[in-house]
Structure 1
């Protein structure tokens, strides 16, 4: 069984139900399946099974369509974050060995520079028919009445998701068909218990990652996928889109929820269609969740996962009760492990900790990645003794609810995006005026965490905050650049000369109850 089977089954059972909905068109499951089959046949005519298909796009149904077409062909879609810098995209294309590169027109200028760097990419496909590249319409010309005759194994790579690495080089996380089918099963059992063919899941978060994973749940029950055509997350337009399309479900990072709560006269929008909003990707502060439930009603579920294991545990919307002091405490929890997932809290020796004792969260089950693409050393670091070591610190209470308190590593989560300080620090140290640099996450009311650079200048040099931020913006994706810079005479260090990052961070988090 493979992921594209979700669409095949739904098209058989509910051929006339809408699959893709946009402001301009609606495509049924029956028609959508023909399109997906056509894409799969096209890819196989130009390449071969297990080729990688890189995809970068704004939130368009065509991108999801290519994911499914590539999977139906036994190939590996490789979604790329649209926020990335051209150099970061170039690295991922090279590392993955992509043979196809499919993109929406907004990325034409970047692709023109990439094409000269990557002769190994044989096919450049633009989601526009007026282009110097292969036209998207060409992918839809093949016979779509039958599926390709390819054997796809459960442990074949279904998606290759790139995540930033602590060494500054992104890592390709392998997610197999087994991994993602298991994730869908666990989400159905744990959080989205009443998902069905009448649902309309609306995409606001980039489908290059978690929003697409949630979309698979609704594909499995013949629910519709709504793409409202927004160029960015504009809170009033988001609320208007929910009302217009009568959306029933969505994936949102906590930052998005917080932004919606700041919309004046939010009560004027009809949001009564919403049944489920799954929040994940960053800490959901208890106060924000409480306010969100008051405004939207009991529609919020919290999920916990990561690229290496996308569905580990969660909190169903029914478990929140603002009138109960006992259940009120659960606002800060990420919930309990899903039925087919094993989670342990362990100490530094991998011994399991008792109730309310903090340790590293580890996990095992069919949701766990087999490893990183071409990164054996990194794989061995996180997969130890049969368990995935998540890098998150937390504890489990007597009822099995898990609470995250900190991270083993220093990753910053800003607006749902993962930012690794080492990557930013390496760029900072390229600046001729900077002698030392320490990058940390500091509290931010909107983004959860903001990137802050604490730097020591060379004794003979000068630099301004704006100059350093601009220096980073030119070399990194914009969301990774520091939002502020502090100049210090020295950085606290251990006896071995290692910067004590926790000491640097501590004064910024003194007034915050949750140091994550």
Structure 2
């Protein structure tokens, strides 16, 4: 199935229904399916008029605006590749991604004009720059075009372009929890498979009103919520910018039924005062992924919002959705990420590629048309991802599968530390720390030690108004874990550096400790 056809079919079924409701700080905008489909066609024709070769890269630097949805489906109808760029990048990061991706066209939100102007000279491969939401500054960005004028005279008819479902279509750069980000290149079929997976696992239907509260430049919003919603003809509500209060207001005003959140957002919502007093009965579906969700957050949300059905989603940019824990099993399988969906293969494998036995640790792997084409311009890293052969892609996650087929993640393979010759998994320590009621978030990682090689360090963010001593933290670990797993360093922090989808960037926490030392 081609991505561009998803919108077109829903537009034929529900032409006058709202496809996107943009709820910004200053105004609300409603875009019917008919208009969104027509805008996508105009964008496609305008891009094709630039004479770019098939597979050329079009980068998008934009907030969650209604135009984002139109550009997403417009590029899908051209044979070009949309590169979704993080709005959080500093100029050096932005220029790296634009150059590494060989971007030829850059569409940017005028809110980020200064950032684009700062990197324009360092990105000579960009041939066309187009401003969304206003007029470009001709002095800072000579030759830039206004988006509205770029598409104004184009026909709202389907472009005649031969596209195959295995053609490259979409790219997202990984979050940067290690080194430079890598461009994950996907084809139409892979995106369609994940969209269908989400529709089935989250029971999405045309009657749903789906809140988009995470950035569309990441697959968590784009592929786990927006694209599946467009597939079934649901209404999406862009809550921009996100805050717990803005989301609750949107639920009441738009009668939102479903959303996806990263754990950081769910955590903030679980602690929001007065939640029970608000009219949130329409909201019955919450899926989450992106980082481990503390068990206490799930329990608290189910206690405060008993109508809410939670679905744990496990996936990666490189694989799409590869496991889901349905709401019916959250209580008895709490802590699991679920089992494989109906349309992809998932397994926990030993290093030699053979299946791990139930309860035996191995690396989570997936096989099927859901997998990426590869890392753009990174043949060595791509080969490493597919190193087992036989179609398997490796997640980098260590996990175990139980007798019922439910997978529990132990940790990222790269986060494991070796202390005195023993493997230590930070996630195991983090789970014990989350049992302390004062802890809102925590991160455990390895720091160098002359005697043991590495020892655990624990950074903790406490819930508002709570206090906790270092001695109690260490005692909790000594009581629950082997002595070698107790943190040798405990630090209380006001927050964590995170990727756009809420993953704590442990590499930034580790960096000061490993300067001028070889990392283990």
With over 3 angstroms needed to count, the CA separation of the structure-2 counterparts of 1:255 and 1:229, relative to structure 1, is: closer
- Report SS of the residue matched to 2:92: helix
Tell me whether 1:179 sits opposite 2:179 in the alignment. Answer: no
Taking the aligned partners of 1:100 and 1:486, their CA distance within structure 2 comes to: 35
With over 3 angstroms needed to count, the CA separation of the structure-2 counterparts of 1:440 and 1:380, relative to structure 1, is: farther
- Report SS of the residue matched to 1:220: helix
In the TM superposition, what is the alpha-carbon distance from 1:256 to its structure 2 partner? Answer: 0.7
- Report SS of the residue matched to 2:121: helix
In the TM superposition, what is the alpha-carbon distance from 1:79 to its structure 2 partner? Answer: 0.5
Structure 2 counterpart of 1:306: 316
Q: Superposition pairs for residues 344-363 of structure 1, below 5 Å?
A: 344-363=347-366
With over 3 angstroms needed to count, the CA separation of the structure-2 counterparts of 1:342 and 1:445, relative to structure 1, is: farther
Structure 1 counterpart of 2:228: 217
In the TM superposition, what is the alpha-carbon distance from 1:439 to its structure 2 partner? Answer: 11
With over 3 angstroms needed to count, the CA separation of the structure-2 counterparts of 1:341 and 1:134, relative to structure 1, is: same
Taking the aligned partners of 1:35 and 1:105, their CA distance within structure 2 comes to: 19
Q: Deviations over 1:105-147 (max 9, x none)?
A: 2211001112111232111111123332311212331344311
Tell me whether 1:75 sits opposite 2:80 in the alignment. Answer: yes
Taking the aligned partners of 1:486 and 1:45, their CA distance within structure 2 comes to: 47
For the Cα contact (< 8 Å) 2:195–2:227, is it kept in 1? Answer: yes
With over 3 angstroms needed to count, the CA separation of the structure-2 counterparts of 1:407 and 1:444, relative to structure 1, is: farther
With over 3 angstroms needed to count, the CA separation of the structure-2 counterparts of 1:484 and 1:374, relative to structure 1, is: closer
Q: Deviations over 1:345-379 (max 9, x none)?
A: 12222221111111111111111112111111101
- Report SS of the residue matched to 2:100: helix
Structure 1 counterpart of 2:293: 284
Taking the aligned partners of 2:68 and 2:457, their CA distance within structure 1 comes to: 34
Tell me whether 1:27 sits opposite 2:31 in the alignment. Answer: yes
Taking the aligned partners of 1:252 and 1:166, their CA distance within structure 2 comes to: 19
Q: Output the aligned Cα RMSD.
A: 3.3
Structure 2 counterpart of 1:407: 412
With over 3 angstroms needed to count, the CA separation of the structure-2 counterparts of 1:486 and 1:169, relative to structure 1, is: closer
Taking the aligned partners of 1:252 and 1:354, their CA distance within structure 2 comes to: 33
Tell me whether 1:320 sits opposite 2:330 in the alignment. Answer: yes
Q: Superposition pairs for residues 335-346 of structure 1, below 5 Å?
A: 335-346=338-349
Structure 2 counterpart of 1:157: 168
With over 3 angstroms needed to count, the CA separation of the structure-2 counterparts of 1:291 and 1:409, relative to structure 1, is: same
Taking the aligned partners of 2:394 and 2:458, their CA distance within structure 1 comes to: 22
For the Cα contact (< 8 Å) 2:46–2:154, is it kept in 1? Answer: no
In the TM superposition, what is the alpha-carbon distance from 1:264 to its structure 2 partner? Answer: 1.0
With over 3 angstroms needed to count, the CA separation of the structure-2 counterparts of 1:51 and 1:483, relative to structure 1, is: closer
Tell me whether 1:51 sits opposite 2:62 in the alignment. Answer: no
- Report SS of the residue matched to 2:166: coil
Find the partner of 1:366 among 360, 364, 369: 369
For the Cα contact (< 8 Å) 1:394–1:403, is it kept in 2? Answer: yes
Q: Deviations over 1:414-450 (max 9, x none)?
A: 9xxxx9x99xx9xxxxxxxxxxx9997745457xxxx
- Report SS of the residue matched to 1:227: strand
Tell me whether 1:134 sits opposite 2:139 in the alignment. Answer: no
Instruction: State the TM-score, normalizing by the size of structure 1.
Output: 0.79
In the TM superposition, what is the alpha-carbon distance from 1:148 to its structure 2 partner? Answer: 0.7
Q: Which structure 2 residue ranges, 5 or more long, are not aligned?
A: 138-143, 417-425, 431-442, 448-453, 464-493
- Report SS of the residue matched to 1:409: helix
Taking the aligned partners of 1:482 and 1:312, their CA distance within structure 2 comes to: 25
Q: Which structure 1 residue ranges, 5 or more long, are not aligned?
A: 322-326, 426-436, 447-468, 501-516
Q: Deviations over 1:53-91 (max 9, x none)?
A: 111112212122211111111211101111111111111
With over 3 angstroms needed to count, the CA separation of the structure-2 counterparts of 1:331 and 1:438, relative to structure 1, is: closer
- Report SS of the residue matched to 2:375: coil
Find the partner of 1:260 among 258, 262, 269: 269
Q: Deviations over 1:175-208 (max 9, x none)?
A: 110111111122222x122x22222211111111
Q: Superposition pairs for residues 477-488 of structure 1, below 5 Å?
A: none
Structure 2 counterpart of 1:513: none
Structure 2 counterpart of 1:376: 379
For the Cα contact (< 8 Å) 1:39–1:142, is it kept in 2? Answer: no
